[in-house]
């Protein structure tokens, strides 16, 4: 079975993880935590980085950071068609009400034309679906009073206006889960340019530790990254150019092979943005839900694993109250399919996937 994703772990990027094991510093202390953090800061250009144990915890820290810095914020404008962790992370902290906004059928991100004017008690959560970047600097120009935070777990290394995503909002989260562009198995990070936010969240992720050891001056969490995770991440960062080039090549080949197939649409990028090229997906513009399921089954029977586009927010039982205005999100869920997108995907494998899709489209014509 051709998997939807698998991490790229050549031997040279594993040497630091082996060194961390040999050092016996296997928990939340060790040299690689700072090494990985400093490397991220150097690459991305964020003034401050907080290393944490996974992407969901990193996104929860967006909510914690908002409560700390702007306790008046009660409402969060959110896209209605993203991975559930983005919403859950704000539900972990009580007191937030969601204002959901439907998706754009072309970008599959939040529809800019439907974003409401915000009051002083409102912030916005931007999510870059599948790595397609929302132009945050342009949103800031349009809504100068709106506080913006970013779930950048899928958008890491994408760009808006020439700057890395996650660097032009108040605070952003990233994930290093095993299916992300770079991985530490689990793991995540928070980016901010705000020193007071950094100091607060750096304490919160470690049980609210004060400057005096074993004196805790705030409610905290055990969200610390381990030295082994950081060592693996540091190795991944050293081969980042190779990983990015492999991902660019596979995106380009998919597009080249499928660009002339009637009924297939690619995810469109916003002006002045660069896709992070995390996962490659297609929209079959004439499909209904059953027809897409038939394609999924056809590909599975040909040993090709796929994934559906994220479900609309109201499809999750604990979020079913947000049932209005989800028409485009429903459409995208019924028409979009995520294809194998891992760095070691070969030309031959991509050609097999695209040939099978073309075969299916011919039989359904």
Structure token pair of residue 113? 């034309």
First to last CA, the chain: 27
> How high is the pLDDT of residue 338?
98
As given in the structure block, the two tokens for residue 134 are 């929302």
pLDDT in tens, 68-119: 999 999 999 999 999 999 999 999 998 999 999 999 999 999 999 999 988 8
Query: Which residue(s) pair with 307 in the sheet?
Result: 338
Which pLDDT tens digit goes with each residue over 252-284?
999 999 999 999 999 999 999 999 999 999 999
Beta-strand pair 307-308/273-274: unpaired
Count the helices and strands in the chain (H runs, E runs). Answer: 11, 14
Give the mean pLDDT of 236-241.
98
Q: What are phi and psi of 96, to 5 degrees?
A: -105, 135
Where are the alpha helices (H) located in the chain, listed in sequence order? 15-23, 31-44, 55-69, 84-91, 136-142, 195-204, 227-238, 240-258, 289-301, 327-335, 347-363
- Give the pLDDT confidence score for residue 365 in this predicted structure: 59
Q: Average pLDDT of 243-247?
A: 98
Query: Residues 6 or more apart from 275 whose CB is under 8 A from it?
Result: 131, 132, 133, 158, 251, 267, 269
Residue 295 pLDDT > 80, yes or no?
yes
Task: Give the pLDDT mean for 230-243.
Answer: 98
CB-CB neighbours of 309 under 10 Å: 24
Other C-beta atoms closer than 10 Å to the C-beta of 326 total 20
Q: Is the pLDDT of residue 364 over 80?
A: no
- The rounded distance, in Å, linking the Cα atoms of 130 and 280 is 8
Tokens of 62: 């967006």
Res. 352 pLDDT band, cuts 50 70 90:
very high
Look up residue 131 and give its DSSP letter: G
Token reading at 85: 């962790």
Strands 264-266 and 281-284, sheet pairing: antiparallel
Three-class DSSP category at 48:
strand
Contact (Cβ atoms closer than 8 angstroms) between residue 52 and residue 187: yes
Tell me what pLDDT residue 64 has. Answer: 98
User: For the chain, what percent of residues have pLDDT higher than 70?
Assistant: 99
Mind listing the pLDDT tens digit for each residue in 131-163?
Answer: 999 999 999 999 999 999 999 999 999 999 999
Residue 342 pLDDT more than 70? yes
* pTM metric for this prediction: 0.96
Summarised one tens digit per residue, pLDDT across range 187-199 is 999 999 999 999 9
Burial of 23 (0-12, 13-18, 19+ CB in 10 A): middle
């Amino acid at each position: 079975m051709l998997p939807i994703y698998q991490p790229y772990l050549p031997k040279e990027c594993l040497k630091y993880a082996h060194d961390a094991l040999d050092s016996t510093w296997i928990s939340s202390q060790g040299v690689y935590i700072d090494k990985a953090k400093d490397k991220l800061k150097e690459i991305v250009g964020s003034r401050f980085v907080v290393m944490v144990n996974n992407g969901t915890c990193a996104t929860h820290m967006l909510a914690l950071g908002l409560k700390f810095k702007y306790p008046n914020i009660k409402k969060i404008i959110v896209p209605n068609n993203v991975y559930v962790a983005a919403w859950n992370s704000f539900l972990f902290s009580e007191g937030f009400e969601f204002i959901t906004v439907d998706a754009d059928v072309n970008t599959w991100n939040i529809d800019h034309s439907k974003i409401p004017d915000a009051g002083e008690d409102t912030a916005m959560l931007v999510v870059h679906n599948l790595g397609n970047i929302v132009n945050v600097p342009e949103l800031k120009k349009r809504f100068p009073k709106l506080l913006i935070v970013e779930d950048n777990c899928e958008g890491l290394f994408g760009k808006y206006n020439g700057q890395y995503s996650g660097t032009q909002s108040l605070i952003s989260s990233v994930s290093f889960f095993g299916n992300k562009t770079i991985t530490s198995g689990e793991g995540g990070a928070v980016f901010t340019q705000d020193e007071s936010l950094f100091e607060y969240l750096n304490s919160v992720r470690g049980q609210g530790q004060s400057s005096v050891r074993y004196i805790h001056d705030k409610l905290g969490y055990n969200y610390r990254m381990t030295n082994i995770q950081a060592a693996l991440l540091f190795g991944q960062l050293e081969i980042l150019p190779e990983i990015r080039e492999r991902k660019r090549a596979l995106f380009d080949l998919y597009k080249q092979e499928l660009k002339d197939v009637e009924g297939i649409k690619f995810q469109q990028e916003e002006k002045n943005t660069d896709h992070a090229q995390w996962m490659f997906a297609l929209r079959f513009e004439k499909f209904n839900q059953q027809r897409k399921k038939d394609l999924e089954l056809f590909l599975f029977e040909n040993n090709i694993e796929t994934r559906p586009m994220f479900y609309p927010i109201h499809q999750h039982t604990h979020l079913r109250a947000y049932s209005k205005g989800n028409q485009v999100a429903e459409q995208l869920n019924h028409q979009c399919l995520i294809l194998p997108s891992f760095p070691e995907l070969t030309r031959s494998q991509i050609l097999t996937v695209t040939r099978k899709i073309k075969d299916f489209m011919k039989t359904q014509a």
